[in-house]
Structure formats: structure tokens, C-alpha cells
Copies of this chain bind each other. A is one copy, B any other.
Amino acid sequence: MSKYVTRQRKVLLDCLNRHPDETFSAQEIAGMLGEESVSLSSVYRNLAELEAEGKVRRTLKGSVRESYYQFLDGARCKNRLHLTCTQCGKTAHMDAEEARELTRSVAKRDGFLLDKTETILYGVCEVCQHAGPPEKSEETP
């Protein structure tokens, strides 16, 4: 799709490459790049292109009507399932073997053909578990 290598495109890709496991809204991304650097519409247009190329995944977070975009490292994501932390937003990759087992189990027991690219498992990652639950007002006395 992309025929020209523009400054904006470079800045965006650079940013995504630096944050392979995180998800951001279009507005957050525009903010990270500096509002003056890339216009919001270009961010949207480029993300849409990247999504079509399979280099970026677009998800809908929580109950909000806002899209979140995540850079996909082809090699790391191949045949894996994603584990996204509902607290810090980072994504871990289930290893291929484990993913295969799950796929097999679901196929056998439920007759369900799991789609690895669409499915995301939500929960709390190791780091956040140890950090304890998010404090309600301040730290627990």
C-alpha cells in the first residue's frame, strides 16, 4: 500500500517499534509523536493501512468506544495467543506449544476452531499481581 516514505510514516513506525507490547489509542499515539509532528488524521490513516497489512492490531478496550492499536511483531506473534493485562495494558505471548495445546483441547472438547489472531486472553500479569491490586485511594494501611 504505502508507496512513499514520508516523515510522518517514519515517526509513527519508529514509535510503534519501540513499544511492541503495548496498546495505545490513536490520540495517545498522536500525543506521543507530538501533536505538531503528525496530524490525527494521518495517524488514523496510517494505522488503518498498517492494520490492513497485518502489522498492527486494532482492539476495542473495556466498554469504551475507542480503538486501541498495538504493534505486532510478526515473528513473536506467529501461532501464539496474546495475554493482555487489564491493569497495565501490556501484552505477553503464550508460547506456541501451549497455544497449540489449548487449540487442540478446545477443538476436541467443544468442537470449536480457535482463531489465534482474534483471541486475546485478559487477566493480570505477573508484575501487577505482585504489585498488588490497584489501590483504591492510596496504599492499604
Contacts and interface: CB of A to CB of B under 8 A. Distances in A.
Interface of A: 51, 58-61, 63, 65, 67, 83, 85-86, 92, 94-95, 98, 101-102, 105-106, 109-115, 118-126, 129
Contacts of A114: 121-123
Copies in the complex: 2
A92 B118 contact: no
The CB with the most chain B CB atoms within 10 A, among A83, A92, A110, is that of: A110
17 contacts: A51-B63, A58-B63, A60-B63, A60-B65, A83-B112, A85-B112, A86-B115, A92-B110, A94-B110, A111-B125, A113-B124, A113-B125, A114-B123, A115-B122, A115-B124, A118-B122, A119-B122
A111 B105 CA distance: 20
A98 B109 contact: yes
B105 A115 contact: no
